[in-house]
C-alpha cells in the first residue's frame, strides 16, 4: 500500500481511480491467507464502493474534489457510524440502537471525500495496550508473524490494516498510547494530537480526561494530511505542512523513568537514532525531569482509565459483565473502590504536574524517549492475567506521559530494516501539533537515512 500522499497524487493525476484503489483494499482484507478477518470487525463494502464511484464521477465531471477525495481509510470500532451499532470491540453492546449520525471526526473525513472501508478490531473498550481480543481474535504483528506477536493496542486492527496494505491510513483513539504503541510495534508512524484538537463526541470513551483521536500511517505527511481534516483546519484544501529543519532543534531526553527496563533491541535502536540526530545538527540534552518519578505513585490505583472508565461501565458491567473479556471487566470493576476525594486528588495532581513539567521543558522544542521499552512480545506469553497486567503497565508507561500532560506526541520508526520494529517518540507542548509534525518530518528523514 502506498502512502496517503502517493494515493492522493495518483488519484489526482488519473493513474488510479478511487474504485480501483478501494477494490484493492477489499481484496487485501478478504485474502484468506491474510489478517483481514482479525483486523476488521465490520466492512462497509457497498457503501465504500458507492463513495469511491461518486469521487471518480466528480473528477470525471471536472468538479474540484475535496482534499481526501477517493482515499480509503479504516476506522477504529469505537467511532459512531450512522446506521450502525458501535461495538468498541465488545459483545456487550450488540443490542444497542444504531448510531443516528457519524462521530464528528468521521463526518469531517467523509466531507473531505474519504472512503470508509470498515471498523477495525481493538482491545475491548480500549482497555489495554496489548491488542488482544478474545471476541474477534487478535491480528498478528507483521514482524515474526509465524510466531505470533502482539500488534499493540488498543488500535490493533488499525495498525495491521496499514502494514498489510488494507488501507493507506487508520483512524484510532489514544488514551495512554493506543495509537503510538501499535505504530511502534509494527513500524508505522502514529500521531496523538493534543486532546482538544479533534472532537471526542461520538467515540466510546475510556477516560474522557485523557482520550484523543489520531491517525496511523506510513509517513508523517500522511498523518498530517488526515489530522488536518479531522481537526477541521480547512476542508477546502489541506494546508501545507512546513518542514522544521532538524539542525538546531533542541531535544531533551529524560533520565528519569522512561529509560528504565529497555530491552537490547530498543536500547540499541534508540541510541543509534540519537547519534544520527546529533550528527544532523540537533542539540540533544539528557535532563533529569525528576517529576516523572512521581507518575507511578499518582496513577498507582489505576489512574483516569479506571476511575472514569468505571463510571461509564458501571451499569453495563452489572447487566452484561459476563460478556466482557474477564481481564477488562476486572480492570473497570476496580474503580468501584475509589472515592470522590481520590479522584479530585488525581485531578489536582495532574494539573500540578502539567504546570511543573511545562516549566521544566520550556527551553526545548521536544522531548524524546523510546515509545515502548520492549519489542512486541509473543501473544502466547500474555494470556495469563498476571502477565497481561505486568506487560501492559510497562507498555503504557512512556506513551501515557503525553496524555497525562495534555500534550501532543508522535511515534516514528527508528529500527534498521529487517530488525524488530522500534519506535522513537517525540512529545511537544500542548497545541503545538503542527510544529511537532513539521519537526517530525525532518526527524523522519534523518532516521530513514540512518537506517
pLDDT in tens, 313-364: 999 999 999 999 999 999 999 999 999 999 999 999 999 999 999 999 999 9
pLDDT, position 241: 84
pLDDT, position 450: 81
pLDDT, position 240: 77
pLDDT in tens, 271-294: 999 999 999 999 999 999 999 999
pLDDT, position 63: 96
Q: Which residues are catalytic?
A: 76, 154, 178
pLDDT band at 390 (very low <50, low <70, confident <90, very high): very high
37-50 mean pLDDT: 98
Cis ω before 327 (30° cut-off from 0):
no
Residue 411 bridge partners (DSSP): 190, 425
pLDDT band at 239 (very low <50, low <70, confident <90, very high): low
pLDDT, position 449: 87
Grid cell at residue 108? 469531517
Closest listed residue to residue 303, CA positions, set 259, 255, 246, 347: 347
Residue for grid cell 504483528: 141
Kind of pairing between the strands at 169-174 and 72-76: parallel
Instruction: Report yes or no: 371 and 181 within 8 Å, Cβ to Cβ.
Output: yes
| Residue 140 CB neighbours (<10 A) | 23
DSSP 129-179: SS---TTT--PPPSTTTTT-B---SSSHHHHHHHHTTS-SEEEEEESSSTT
pLDDT, position 437: 97
227-250 mean pLDDT: 85
Is the model's pLDDT at 236 over the cut of 70? no
Is the model's pLDDT at 172 over the cut of 80? yes
Instruction: Report yes or no: 146 and 190 within 8 Å, Cβ to Cβ.
Output: no
The span from the CA of 25 to the CA of 38, in Å, is: 15
400-418 mean pLDDT: 98
Is the model's pLDDT at 451 over the cut of 60? yes
221-249 mean pLDDT: 87
The span from the CA of 374 to the CA of 184, in Å, is: 10
Indicate the CATH number of 4-230 among 3.50.50.60, 3.30.2090.10, 3.90.1300.10, 3.60.20.10. 3.90.1300.10
Residue for grid cell 505527511: 221
Helix axes 18-30, 45-60, angle to 10 degrees: 160
223-239 mean pLDDT: 83
| Mean pLDDT (the chain, rounded) | 97
pLDDT band at 234 (very low <50, low <70, confident <90, very high): low
Residue length, the chain? 451
250-450: same fold as 4-230?
Answer: yes
Indicate the CATH number of 250-450 among 3.90.1300.10, 3.50.50.60, 1.10.10.10, 3.90.45.10. 3.90.1300.10
The span from the CA of 263 to the CA of 177, in Å, is: 19
pLDDT, position 1: 72
pLDDT, position 29: 98
Instruction: Report yes or no: 251 and 436 within 8 Å, Cβ to Cβ.
Output: no
pLDDT, position 233: 87
pLDDT in tens, 206-215: 999 999 999 9
Residue 74 host element (H or E): strand 72-76
Name the residue ranges covered by the structural domains of the chain. 4-230, 250-450
Instruction: Report yes or no: 192 and 181 within 8 Å, Cβ to Cβ.
Output: no
Is the model's pLDDT at 428 over the cut of 90? yes
pLDDT in tens, 127-164: 999 999 999 999 999 999 999 999 999 999 999 999 99
Instruction: Report yes or no: 169 and 217 within 8 Å, Cβ to Cβ.
Output: yes
Is the model's pLDDT at 235 over the cut of 60? no
Amino acid at each position: 500500500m502506498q502512502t496517503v500522499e502517493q494515493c492522493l497524487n495518483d488519484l489526482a493525476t488519473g493513474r488510479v481511480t478511487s474504485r480501483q484503489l478501494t477494490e484493492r483494499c477489499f481484496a487485501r482484507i478478504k485474502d484468506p491467507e491474510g489478517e483481514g478477518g482479525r483486523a476488521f470487525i465490520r466492512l462497509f463494502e457497498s457503501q465504500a464502493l458507492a463513495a469511491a464511484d461518486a469521487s471518480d464521477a466528480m473528477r470525471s465531471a471536472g468538479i474540484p474534489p475535496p482534499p481526501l477525495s477517493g482515499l480509503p481509510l479504516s476506522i477504529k470500532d469505537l467511532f459512531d457510524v450512522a446506521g450502525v451499532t458501535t461495538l468498541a470491540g465488545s459483545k456487550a453492546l450488540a443490542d444497542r440502537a444504531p448510531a443516528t449520525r457519524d462521530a464528528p471526526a468521521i463526518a469531517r473525513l467523509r466531507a473531505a471525500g474519504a472512503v470508509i472501508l470498515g471498523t477495525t478490531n481493538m482491545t475491548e473498550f480500549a482497555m489495554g495496550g496489548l491488542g488482544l481480543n478474545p471476541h474477534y481474535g487478535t491480528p498478528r504483528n507483521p514482524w515474526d508473524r509465524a510466531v505470533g506477536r502482539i500488534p499493540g493496542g488498543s488500535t490493533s486492527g488499525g495498525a495491521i490494516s496499514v502494514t498489510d496494505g488494507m488501507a493507506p491510513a487508520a483512524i484510532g483513539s489514544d488514551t495512554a498510547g493506543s495509537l503510538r504503541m501499535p505504530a511502534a510495534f509494527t513500524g508505522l508512524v502514529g500521531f496523538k494530537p493534543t486532546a482538544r484538537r479533534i472532537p471526542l463526541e461520538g467515540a466510546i470513551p475510556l477516560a474522557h480526561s485523557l482520550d484523543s483521536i489520531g491517525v496511523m500511517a506510513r509517513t508523517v505527511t500522511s498523518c498530517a494530511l488526515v489530522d488536518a481534516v479531522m481537526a477541521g483546519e480547512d476542508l477546502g484544501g489541506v494546508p501545507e505542512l512546513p518542514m522544521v529543519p532538524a539542525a538546531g532543534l533542541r531535544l531533551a531526553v529524560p533520565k528519569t523513568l522512561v529509560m528504565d527496563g529497555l530491552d537490547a533491541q530498543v536500547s540499541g535502536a534508540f541510541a543509534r537514532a540519537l547519534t544520527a540526530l546529533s550528527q544532523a545538527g540537533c542539540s540533544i540534552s539528557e535532563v533529569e525531569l525528576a517529576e516523572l518519578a512521581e507518575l507511578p505513585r499518582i496513577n498507582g490505583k489505576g489512574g483516569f482509565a479506571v476511575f472514569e472508565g468505571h463510571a461509564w461501565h458501571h451499569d453495563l458491567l452489572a447487566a452484561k459483565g459476563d460478556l466482557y473479556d474477564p481481564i477488562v471487566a476486572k480492570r473497570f470493576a476496580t474503580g468501584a473502590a475509589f472515592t470522590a476525594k481520590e479522584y479530585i486528588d488525581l485531578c489536582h495532581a495532574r494539573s500540578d504536574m502539567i504546570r511543573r513539567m511545562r516549566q521544566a521543558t520550556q527551553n526545548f522544542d521536544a522531548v524524546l524517549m523510546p515509545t515502548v521499552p520492549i519489542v512486541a512480545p509473543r501473544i502466547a506469553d500474555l494470556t495469563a492475567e498476571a502477565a497481561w497486567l505486568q506487560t501492559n503497565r510497562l507498555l503504557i508507561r512512556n506513551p501515557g506521559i503525553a496524555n497525562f500532560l495534555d500534550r501532543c506526541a508522535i511515534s516514528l520508526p527508528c529500527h534498521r530494516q529487517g530488525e524488530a520494529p522500534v519506535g522513537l517518540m517525540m512529545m511537544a507542548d500542548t497545541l503545538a501539533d503542527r510544529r511537532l509534525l513539521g519537526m517530525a518530518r525532518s526527524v523522519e528523514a534523518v532516521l530513514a537515512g540512518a537506517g
